[in-house]
Amino acid sequence: MKYKTTVEVQRDGSLVMTDGTLSANGDMTFAYHALVTICNDQANKGNSFQRDQQFQVQPVVQSSSGFHSDRLKVTINPEFAKDAIAVLKKEYPGLTIQNEEQLDRANEHNYKSN
């Protein structure tokens, strides 16, 4: 099995999951399922977790007929990125999270600027 969803921490500390293209048997994309799991985790913690407030969802491929795409790009706001990473590491063993060290840098910057 090979994960075809990339997970990356951005400079601002947000977490972006982008579904790639399936090219072989056993390939797996998971942005939608990961988002549902992250939403459930936040609900269990009593946090509000709503689209266009705490996270954004976009199609990877915009079709001429509108928003339909089975490949998604999900962006989690910086304040929830660390919790989301913990969920991803539990649910998707062996997953590589690109630029995870950016999370600590973004948190340091936010702390210093407050």
Q: Has residue 39 got a pLDDT over 60?
A: yes
pLDDT in tens, 14-29: 999 999 988 888 889 9
- How far, in Å, CA of 54 to CA of 34, rounded? 15
Tens digits of per-residue pLDDT, 73-99? 999 999 999 999 999 999 999 999 999
For residues 53-80, average pLDDT: 84
Say which CATH architecture domain 2-101 belongs to. Answer: 2-Layer Sandwich (3.30)
CA distance 101 to 78: 13
Every domain of the chain and the residues it spans? 2-101
Taking the model in full, what pTM does it have? Answer: 0.85
Average pLDDT over residues 103-108: 70
Mean pLDDT over each residue of the chain, to the nearest integer: 88
